[in-house]
Amino acid sequence: MWMLVPVAFALKMLSVFLQPLGSVWSSLGTLFLQLRAASWLAGGERNRLLQGRREAGEPSRVEGEGGGDLPTTPTSVNYHFTRQCNYKCGFCFHTAKTSFVLPLEEAKRGLLMLKEAGMEKINFSGGEPFLQDRGEYLGRLVKFCKQELQLPSVSIVSNGSLIRESWFQKYGEYLDILAISCDSFDEQVNVLIGRGQGKKNHVENLQKLRTWCKEYRVAFKINSVINRFNVDEDMKEQINALNPVRWKVFQCLIIEGENSGEDALREAERFVISDEEFEAFLDRLKDVSCLVPESNQKMRDSYLILDEYMRFLNCRNGRKDPSKSILDVGVEEAIKFSGFDEKMFLKRGGKYVWSKADLKLDW
């Protein structure tokens, strides 16, 4: 019996210590719950602030607590899923340096990640995007983005030479905008630039595509690169006749490693025009209502560009420096190295009415 006394004493002492310890754990638990609630409320406030800035057309990168920034939202993304092309435009700044194309399901996985990060518009480009699997690869991505991801806007930039009416019949309903590259309405100038196709006429094909876009309810857009060979051309009459929703006019841009330098596949120096020449071209065409001009200054850093590996390309140093792939590190981490100037994106009118459901076109 006497041996039980120390045991009882020890249990009594343990209970004395456990009472304040239990009180401490209870306090810590309450504090943890309060901190978690505060963090959730702060996160909600930051998300509401980000959404409000998007709706107001303001940059999503804003000063937050502790000097940090909200992550850049990939609102509009240009996915160059292939570098291969059937044209040889002398000023091309995204050349055929690889033949790589992601497996379809991997491309879809990356597009889903971009949608979850806030993407509203995807633009497919190249290279020539209709070259891969005769347009089937592209068509499946277009359908996936519109039908499954339900993106407000899905668009394509193409030279138009490989598009067939059967593609519109199969995938046209899922496409909002088709932009066709056309730098001249003089076929001899197109040949000088590198858009020649032998017996095929680039300008005649443009008119056929315009007709198909109207028939299959796809908004029609024209992209033109103004360079040494077309800077004096008056395109007003032809543009007004085609009546695109937008006529995007770019100043010829030099990118080291793409169209300039030892490792480049093109030599674009002979195509370059001065800022003054570009402004003079725009001044002559200022009455064209659909004209959307982009100088080198506006263009260089105001696009989110994904290459064939789904890496963001940073053009701030006059060349294309890739981030790590979003498939490996996620969108938020990769986009930090994109060099994206969101203020310039908004200033150049990068966000516009880009869904055909909202364009209210007279089909």
Q: What pLDDT, on the 0 to 100 scale, is given for residue 196?
A: 74
Q: Report pLDDT digits (tens) over 243-293.
A: 999 999 999 999 998 889 888 888 899 999 999 999 999 999 999 999 999
Can you tell me the mean pLDDT for 51-75? 58
Can you tell me the mean pLDDT for 56-62? 51
Among 292, 302, 287, smallest CA distance to 250 is for 292
Q: How far apart are alpha carbons 100 and 112 in whole angstroms? A: 21
Q: What pLDDT, on the 0 to 100 scale, is given for residue 262?
A: 84
* Tokens describing residue 123: 């633009």
In angstroms, how far apart are the furthest CA atoms of the chain?
115
| Local confidence band at 52 (pLDDT 50, 70, 90 cut-offs) | low
Q: What pLDDT, on the 0 to 100 scale, is given for residue 154?
A: 98
Can you tell me the mean pLDDT for 95-121? 97
Q: What pLDDT, on the 0 to 100 scale, is given for residue 229?
A: 97
Q: Map out the domains of the chain with their CATH numbers.
A: 76-350 (3.20.20.70)
Above 50 in pLDDT, residue 2?
A: no
Q: What pLDDT, on the 0 to 100 scale, is given for residue 328?
A: 98
Q: What pLDDT, on the 0 to 100 scale, is given for residue 71?
A: 82
With a pLDDT cut of 90, the percent of the chain lying above it is 63
Contact 335, 72 (CB under 8 A): yes
* Tokens describing residue 46: 């930051």
Q: Report pLDDT digits (tens) over 318-333.
A: 888 999 999 999 999 9
Q: What pLDDT, on the 0 to 100 scale, is given for residue 69?
A: 62
* Tokens describing residue 105: 């399901």
**Catalytic residue positions?**
85, 89, 92
Residues 6+ apart with CB under 8 A from 123: 76, 77, 78, 79, 155, 156, 157, 179
Contact 335, 70 (CB under 8 A): no
Q: How far apart are alpha carbons 361 and 363 in whole angstroms? A: 6
| Local confidence band at 175 (pLDDT 50, 70, 90 cut-offs) | very high
